[in-house]
Structure 1
């Protein structure tokens, strides 16, 4: 759902607004937050907080950017705040990473690529997730991350190179 760029999102503040936000953005945000936080349960909390913040602040959106970049920026800020919290730093999420891919017992499912993406450092993981999973353009990613477009394209290039190296023998014949 991409509303008119000059319109606010105040229509989301009625009684059904939160439900509309959840329907429109819930799955995308859950994927984003799970990949960002590497913890399914923490990601669910982050999505709820993101949607609540977006719902409460819908009247402050004035269309300077797209709704996608606005809500993605909120989600990333929530994820960063979760990662900075003392509680998160004391947790050992290694077991959670396994549950992330254990949602299916199908032996046909290959989780090599998602694991390689999660192994990237945060700046590279961010651009890969936003570009390929959230399907944002480089300009939108630059707006979300508050960096130059050239920084985004350089990070994408480096991240692809790192993934190519990490996936040698799996996806690349070298």
Structure 2
């Protein structure tokens, strides 16, 4: 298969990637790391890694998938690092969502997603929040597609149980 180098990020494209995908990547990192400050650091590291790896981009996927893959790997590295391995206090998590004094906003779903185990939360965030296809997630996480779909299924079942009576009229 011939390489398509037309999508390879060149030096001028890295700032464009930040402008185009920066907010999306920051949300991804925040959801992944549960800490806005770590997420900002992770976004910077993502852009640095993208800059350094720009020559390795083969064009097998789009630039969005490529840079999201880098961001996921950066977040995983942060979570593995002894320096950064910690949980954000519950009060900080609450600041990610709507203010408590706003009766119009119900943050039950985001809290339920954040309570999932890391492997399940990971696929839910990538599938629903980042709108990636199961095949893209499988490629990004180096997993069989059946594992991704199984994790999505388990996550949906856990969320259905956790949110019983909240969204559906099930009691």
TM-score (norm 1): 0.87
Seen in structure 2, the aligned counterparts of structure 1 residues 25 and 157 have a Cα distance that, compared at 3 Å, is same
Higher relative contact order (CA 8 A, sep 6+): 1
Structure 1 runs of 4+ off > 6 angstroms?
none
The answer for the alignment partner of 2:97 in structure 1 is: 101
1:162: Cα distance to partner?
Answer: 0.5
Cα distance per residue 1:95-143 (max 9 Å; x no partner): 3212211568533111111110000001110111111111111110100
TM-score (norm 2): 0.89
Cα distance per residue 1:32-77 (max 9 Å; x no partner): 1111111111111111110121123212101123323221111111
Whole-Å separation in 1 of the counterparts to 2:39 and 2:47? 12
Contact 1:50 1:78 survives alignment (8 Å): yes
The answer for the alignment partner of 2:139 in structure 1 is: 143
Contact 2:4 2:58 survives alignment (8 Å): yes
More displaced, 66-75 or 130-139? Answer: 66-75
The answer for the alignment partner of 1:156 in structure 2 is: 152
Seen in structure 2, the aligned counterparts of structure 1 residues 75 and 167 have a Cα distance that, compared at 3 Å, is same
Answer 1 or 2: which has greater helix percent: 1
Of 7, 10, 16, the residue aligned with 2:5 is 7
The answer for the alignment partner of 2:34 in structure 1 is: 38
CA RMSD in angstroms comes to 2.0
Contact 2:11 2:51 survives alignment (8 Å): yes
Seen in structure 2, the aligned counterparts of structure 1 residues 9 and 58 have a Cα distance that, compared at 3 Å, is farther
Q: Which runs of 5+ in 1 are unaligned?
A: none
